[in-house]
Amino acid sequence: MNAATDFNFDPIINRAGTASLKYDAREPVFGSANVIPLWVADMDFAVPAAVQRALLERAAHPVFGYTLYPESLYASLIHWLATRHPWKITRDSILFCPGVVPSLHACIMALSRPGDGVIVQPPVYAPFLSAPETCGRKLLLNPLMLKEGRYFFDLDDFERCAKQGGRLLILCSPHNPVGRVWQQDELQALLAVCERHAITVVSDEIHADLIYPGHRHVPLATLTDKVKIVTAVAPSKTFNIPGLGLSALVVPEAADRKAITQAFDTLHVSANNPFSIVAFEAAYREGAPWLDDLMAYLAGTRDRVRDFLQQHLPQIRMTEPEGTYLLWLDCRAMGLNDKQLKDFFVQKAGVGMSPGALFGEGGSGHMRMNIGAPRSVIQQALENISAALRA
């Protein structure tokens, strides 16, 4: 914790009974309400005080009617991207949206045609795998390559996907679940293939602010103007407000903005409500010191998990994360199939994580651990796993 601030991420906040998916769905998901929940990608930390204060102030007004997007909301996002990354965007390029997953579907519908190939790079966030076929497109898999414990793009296979009709790439940057923060030269090599084959990119960059020391997120759209790129951004993961739903797309071309808007309009979907707007703006305006301390705390937790695994659980190997609060654990040395692996962690260790198989090809034998929780909780989970393996 930074001595200059009073941010404290150690308190345990009881979320049970708050209609929390992470906590209150444990019984149907894991068969037990007693597991330590390290699955859904939200954190167990209190939001920045500025966000809570903004919500309380808005709640004090007794009318919660239809809401528009104020200019100050646009300005907060523009300022954040310019100062944190740096990436200068225009006000006109911003489309506010009801969350990133609906945005992926809208982009697929707007930026490709029925039957087109949509390329995804597993193991990857599960909605990436389902969205193309849900939208009537062809799913093309371009699996990441694992070399010496680190994941990379397979550009030769990406070329194959392009030649098989790939017209749209859904990029996860930083990557969920493997934790890669793609380097500029890697992204430029990927973009070179996109340019040759006229592939449009939808770049999911909602983890862009959750970067560990020694790494830097590069917004894909800053690297070229020769490839059509739509970028998804949001304060949801950064400031632990995903339940409020509001996100944004940065869409440089007016025709694409119109097409995406029409995709949302077909369902009459709206992203705005009085609370999501004030939280979004307050987070980007005043949340930077909180975020800086959060990343220091998460880095310390990551290091503790790595050290514990090396010392006590050599059967489980952690892929070193460069960003996000999600750890990708290689459990293949335990010699269990995916069902046995899930049963072991839930029934014997009392820990609820996301099975790697959910993330597609390359996920079998892995688990995704969410370390966005007080260290005492993570420590207890590790000790539970260790005790279960010794039993």
Structure tokens belonging to residue 212 = 């560990």
pLDDT tens, residue by residue, 72-114: 999 999 999 999 999 999 999 999 999 889 999 999 999 999 9
Domains and CATH numbers, the chain: 21-48+288-390 (3.90.1150.10), 62-286 (3.40.640.10)
User: Where are any strands of DSSP class E within the chain?
Assistant: 36-37, 94-97, 117-120, 138-141, 145-147, 150-152, 166-172, 200-204, 229-233, 247-250, 317-319, 326-330, 351-352, 354-355, 366-370
- Burial of 114 from C-beta contacts in 10 A (0-12 / 13-18 / 19+): exposed
Structure tokens belonging to residue 109 = 């519908």
pLDDT tens, residue by residue, 181-237: 999 999 999 999 999 999 999 999 999 999 999 999 999 999 999 999 999 999 999
Between CA 122 and CA 109 the distance in angstroms is 21
- Count of other CB atoms within 10 angstroms of residue 316: 23
What is the maximal distance between C-alpha atoms in the chain? Answer: 61
Predicted TM-score (pTM) of this structure = 0.96
Q: Long-range CB contacts (< 8 A, 24+ apart) of 335-343?
A: 338/364, 338/365, 341/365, 341/367
Between CA 1 and CA 245 the distance in angstroms is 29
